[in-house]
Amino acid sequence: MRLAHAFAPMSLFAAASLAMLGNAASSSPPSLTASASASAAPKRRAPERPRPSPLANHTIPREESEPPKPEEWRNAPMVAPTRASSSASRRCRAYLVREWLKLNCDLSAAAIRQLAGPHQGVLLWVTPTPEGGFFADKPMAQIIAPMRPGSPSVFQIYEISGGEYEGVWAEPSYLLDIQWPEAEPQPKVVLR
């Protein structure tokens, strides 16, 4: 298992459309700059990270807005989901801009699927498989999605298991569950 890294400021390339997300073109997610890899902390020491504030402390607009720009993500506060399993909170970090949520998880993801919910503006990203190997050096999975009243959404991350000898397969790992019943003032985000 890999330790979490606190990522340096990031920028979103507008050109990274959904269509090219699956391509092994870039080795870092569209919302990351290469400077992320500069945080060359020794592997075993827990890196410092800002403490996330509870999602419930933020007022989240019920009106729809455009997906945030890269600069907005750069200054986005880190938020703690309503609930996250301990392993998910070790490996993932969530950020908030208006009603938009971004989730970064440090794991060897093979795929992400949206199972339900609005898909306008949704961005999914997994680290490409490295040449001649299975596991990328700093693998990451990223989900950017809106939280909309009355429109719950669910994302499933698939993680790579196995290794060189037994072969590899993909397994469902974390589930991101965003729910905002119309009658409730705030959304709930569960990561498990």
Query: For the window 51-70, what string marks contact with other proteins as x by the rule CB under 8 A?
Result: --------------------
Q: Compose the 90-109 pattern: x for residues touching other proteins by CB under 8 A, - for all others.
A: -------------------x
Residue matched to tokens 């990274």: 16
Q: What's the min distance (Å) between Cβ of 41 and other proteins?
A: 25
Do the Cβ atoms of 95 and 77 come closer than 8 Å?
yes
User: How far apart, in whole angstroms, are the C-alpha atoms of residue 113 and residue 115?
Assistant: 6
How wide is the angle at C-alpha 188 spanned by C-alphas 147 and 153, nearest 5°?
A: 45
**Residue among 26, 33, 129, 186 that touches other proteins (CB under 8 A):** 129
- For residues 75 and 106, what is the distance between their CA atoms, to the nearest angstrom? 20
Within 8 A by CB and 6+ apart from 148, the residues are 64, 99, 117, 118, 180
Q: For other proteins, what does the binding mask look like between residues 8 and 47, x meaning CB under 8 A?
A: ----------x--xx-x-----------------------
Q: Does 168 bind other proteins (CB under 8 A)?
A: yes
Alpha-carbon radius of gyration of the chain: 16
Catalog residues that contact other proteins under the rule CB under 8 A.
Answer: 18, 21-22, 24, 82-83, 85-87, 109-117, 119, 122-129, 134, 151-154, 156, 158, 160, 168-172, 175, 177, 179, 181-184, 188, 190, 192
